[in-house]
Amino acid sequence: MKKVLVTGTNGFIPSYVVGELHDRGYYVVGLQRSQRVVEGLTKREIPDEIYYGDIRDEALVRKLVEQVDGVIHLAAILGTGHTENVWLWYENNVKGTINVLDACEETNVPMVYISVGNFFEHNNYSNSKMAAEREVMKYAKYRGVKAGVVRALNAIGPRQKIKNTGKIMATFLNNALNGIPLKVFGGKDNCSNMDLVYAGDVAKVLVTLLEKITSGELPSATKVEAGTGVAPSVYEIAQMVIKHVGQGEIEEVPMRDGETPKSTVVAENPFDIGGYKNIDEAIKETVEFYTKYRA
């Protein structure tokens, strides 16, 4: 591989993937839907070429895939606390993924897809991401596409978008820094347990899996986990954030629709990348970022 397409390149994890690809000497083509400015980006995290468009656009996706040697498909509609407007998630997360798979099948280009750790939940995000994962595995097993899946746990780190995503670390840090209570859904006794993994480590897993599938070191249809194997409770995570920020308070609230009380999302067999960043180190780095770029 020399040239790799990354979808959703103005997103959080994609920026780390672009940086990781550049570190390994790749030329990066990015597809993103908007020109949203991501605070704190360096040249390392910006694609060499950027195309503006939508993964639901079959012709555009085909045009981009046929000019690259590999694809890391990350573009998606996020948000776990949603059970309404279901087609918004399925049109983007499922149809968009099938467009990428069809293009990869037609051009014989390998691809890696990012899936979710909370696959057992029944909300629009989890359901649509898992439907897309199953399509990836189908194309890999029966349609001849060289494809793999990375089930990424709860990624944290600088540059994560706060609004309209509900991502735990960005939300907790922003609230603590701005004097807003940290809402723990389910409260201390019924909240979820989450494996927090540094976004840079998720990027390493994605790029490494693409390389290994492309070279034949790992077979198509390989599915791996990007996570630390450790899952503190959301209440404990809130306490860690307050400790690192130096201020904040916890508000215990009822569990949201589409989420399971006391659920645990943890990597049972983390993909080997030579070690994952410690949670405390990741939170410290993230606190420093949000202190500088406070929303």
Please report, for the chain, the start and end positions of each structural domain, with discontinuous segments joined by +. Answer: 3-157+197-226, 168-195+229-265+275-292
Q: What is the bridge-based pairing of β-strands 154-156 and 27-32? A: unpaired
Instruction: Looking at 66-179, list the stretches that DSSP marks H as alpha helix, in order from N- to C-terminal side.
Output: 86-89, 96-107, 124-142, 168-177
Interval 127-165: pLDDT, tens: 899 999 999 999 999 999 999 999 998 899 998 877 655
| Top-level class of domain 3-157+197-226 | alpha beta
Question: Which one is predicted more confidently, 120 or 251?
Answer: 251
Q: How deeply is 287 buried, as exposed, middle or buried, from its count of CB atoms within 10 A (0-12, 13-18, 19+)?
A: buried
- In angstroms, the Cα distances linking 41 to 2, 252, 289 are 23, 35, 11
User: Going by C-beta distance under 8 Å and a sequence separation of 6 or more, which residues neighbour residue 272?
Assistant: none
Under DSSP, the state recorded for 177 is H
Q: What is the pLDDT of residues 157-210, one digit of tens each?
A: 998 877 655 678 888 988 998 899 999 999 999 999 999 999 999 999 999 999
Q: Report if pTM > 0.85.
A: yes
Mean pLDDT of 55-69: 97
pLDDT value for 34: 84
The conformation of residue 91, written as its DSSP 8-state character, comes to I
Q: How far apart are CA 193 and CA 271, in angstroms?
A: 20
> Taking the CA atoms of the chain, what radius of gyration do you get in angstroms?
18
Local confidence band at 89 (pLDDT 50, 70, 90 cut-offs):
confident
CATH dotted code for 168-195+229-265+275-292: 3.90.25.10
What backbone phi and psi angles, to 5 degrees, belong to 264?
-125, 120
Lowest mean per-residue pLDDT among 34-38, 54-58, 177-181: 34-38
Amino acid letter at 271?
F
HSE-up of residue 130 (Cα within 13 Å, Cβ side): 12
Q: Are strands 264-265 and 193-194 parallel, antiparallel or unpaired?
A: parallel
Q: Measured in Å, how far apart are the chain's first and last C-alpha atoms?
A: 38
Least confident of 98-102, 179-183, 207-211, 261-265: 261-265
pLDDT of 81 strictly over 80:
no
What's the CA gap between 198 and 158, in Å, rounded? 9
